[in-house]
């Protein structure tokens, strides 16, 4: 039985008692409200504390650049967290300076145990898979590839084909990556089965060859993505005097990168 619960009906009592009883009811209601508030507060505090342990955010600022870093897994290696952060500050400023000075100065990294892929970028945010990074701790230049997507910022309806976008990101990893060798990551040797549209590393190797023979072409190609001026039939001729098929044919005959 609740000792502070007043009688529901005090109709037969004197006016004085009724007033006293009403006061008591008010007090009781106040106590109930306080109790509810208190319990809500405890619930709120414990949920905030739970968030703290699983989605702690650190903000690291170096020069013009800021990284908001969230690791959603308490069990994830702190050493890998630090490598992701260090790689960002080592690579991103160079890519911004080289390709797109208007790139965001504030970037967010999320290390997510619920994300199934390797890594993904949208706008100024990169998600890394806990599972992938834990099993491939040396593959740190995933950062280099992903932050290049932030720099690219082609947006929707840019006309940039996926193979060019991904080819550039892997070319940049090849050219600016900090430890591709440590990760066992390399551009594959050209094979007869390859085509420029194969994307990722196969396209990246072709782009490395293009850059050797037409210095600055990757910067121009990347800029075309933001300017929305990529037209497959015209851009290659404009940049090199040759069509993409002619370029690939030249590359196939003499694919050396040095």
User: Least CB distance from residue 154 to Zn ion, whole Å?
Assistant: 12
DSSP string across the chain = --TTPPPS--TTS-HHHHHHHHHHHHHHHHHHHHHHHHHHHHHHHHHHHHHHHHS-EEEEEETTEEEEEEE--TTS-HHHHHHHHHHHHHHHHHHHHHH-TTS-SEEEEEEETT--SSEEEETTEEEEEHHHHHH-TT-TTHHHHHHHHHHH---TT----HHHHHHHHHHHHHHH-S-TTTTT--PPPP-TT--GGG-HHHHHHHHHHHHHHSTTHHHHHHHHHHHT---HHHHHHHHHSS-HHHHHHHHHH-----
Contacts with Zn ion, 168-187, as mask; x by CB under 5 A = -x------------------
Comparing CB distances to Zn ion, the nearer of 124 and 250 is 124
Nearer to Zn ion, 60 or 183 (CB): 183
CB of 149 to Zn ion, least distance (A): 6
Distance CA 75, CA 36 (A): 35
204 vs 256 by CB, closer to Zn ion: 204
Least distance in angstroms from the C-beta of 119 to Zn ion: 8
Q: What is the CA radius of gyration of the chain?
A: 30
Q: How many CB atoms lie within 10 A of CB 37?
A: 10
Nearer to Zn ion, 147 or 169 (CB): 169
Nearer to Zn ion, 166 or 222 (CB): 166
192-221 residues in contact with Zn ion (CB under 5 A) are none
Give the span between the Cα atoms of 49 and 74, in whole angstroms.
13
Q: Does 119 bind Zn ion (CB under 5 A)?
A: no
> Nearest distance from residue 180's CB to Zn ion, in Å?
15
For Zn ion, what does the binding mask look like between residues 147 and 166, x meaning CB under 5 A? -------------------x
125 vs 214 by CB, closer to Zn ion: 125
Shortest reach from residue 141's CB to Zn ion, in Å: 12
| Residue 80 beta carbon to Zn ion: minimum distance, rounded to whole angstroms | 20
Count of residues near Zn ion by CB under 5 A:
2
Decide whether 112 or 166 has the Cβ nearer to Zn ion. Answer: 166
Minimum CB distance to Zn ion, residue 148 (Å): 8
| Chain residues in the site for Zn ion (CB under 5 A) | 166, 169
């Amino acid at each position: 039985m609740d000792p502070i619960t007043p009688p529901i009906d005090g109709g037969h009592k004197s006016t004085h008692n009724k007033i006293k009883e009403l006061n008591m009811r008010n007090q009781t209601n106040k106590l109930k409200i306080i109790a509810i508030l208190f319990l809500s507060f405890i619930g709120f505090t414990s949920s905030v504390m739970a968030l703290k342990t699983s989605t702690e955010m650190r903000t690291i600022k170096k020069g013009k650049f800021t990284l908001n870093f969230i690791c959603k897994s308490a069990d994830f290696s702190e050493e890998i967290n630090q490598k992701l952060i260090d790689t960002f500050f080592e690579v991103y400023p160079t890519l911004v300076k080289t390709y797109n000075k208007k790139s965001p100065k504030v970037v967010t990294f999320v290390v997510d145990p619920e994300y199934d892929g390797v890594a993904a970028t949208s706008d100024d945010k990169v998600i890394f898979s806990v599972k992938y990074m834990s099993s491939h701790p040396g593959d740190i230049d995933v950062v280099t590839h992903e932050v290049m997507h932030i720099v690219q910022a082609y947006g929707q309806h840019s006309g940039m084909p996926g193979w060019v976008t991904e080819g550039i990101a892997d070319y940049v990893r090849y050219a600016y990556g900090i430890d591709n060798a440590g990760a066992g990551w390399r551009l594959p040797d050209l094979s007869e089965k390859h085509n420029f549209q194969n994307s990722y590393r196969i396209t990246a190797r072709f782009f490395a060859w293009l850059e050797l023979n037409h210095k600055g072409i990757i910067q121009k190609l990347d800029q075309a993505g933001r300017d929305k001026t990529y037209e497959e039939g015209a851009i290659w001729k404009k940049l090199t005097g040759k069509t993409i098929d002619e370029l690939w044919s030249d590359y196939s005959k003499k694919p050396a990168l040095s």
